[in-house]
Amino acid sequence: MIPANSIKQHTTLRDSNGNYRIYFVYEEGNGFNFECWDCRDGSSNCSRKVGEANLSQQEAIQTYEDHLKSWESN
């Protein structure tokens, strides 16, 4: 799921229900993409929750950090 060319990645700890998220930024073509995948009940079968494409590297990393902070504050 996480591309080999990712420049940032993080898998959150599982919460009490076994839910966790996977965040990553990777380069594709002339831009960078951010994706967040939602994994429920401890399953490795995850679904894409958020994705943004064709960002600058700085924008992609900022989006990554903003989403990660939001998850951690919940």
Residue 1 located in a structural domain: no
pTM here is 0.87
The mean pLDDT values, 10 residues at a time, for the chain of 74 residues are 92 90 95 95 86 96 93 76
Number of domains in the chain: 1
- pLDDT for the residue 36: 95
Domain limits at 66?
Answer: 6-73
What is the DSSP annotation of the chain? Answer: ---TTEEEEEEPPP-TTS-EEEEEEEEETTEEEEEEEEE-TT-S-EEEEEEEEEE-HHHHHHHHHHHHHHHHH-
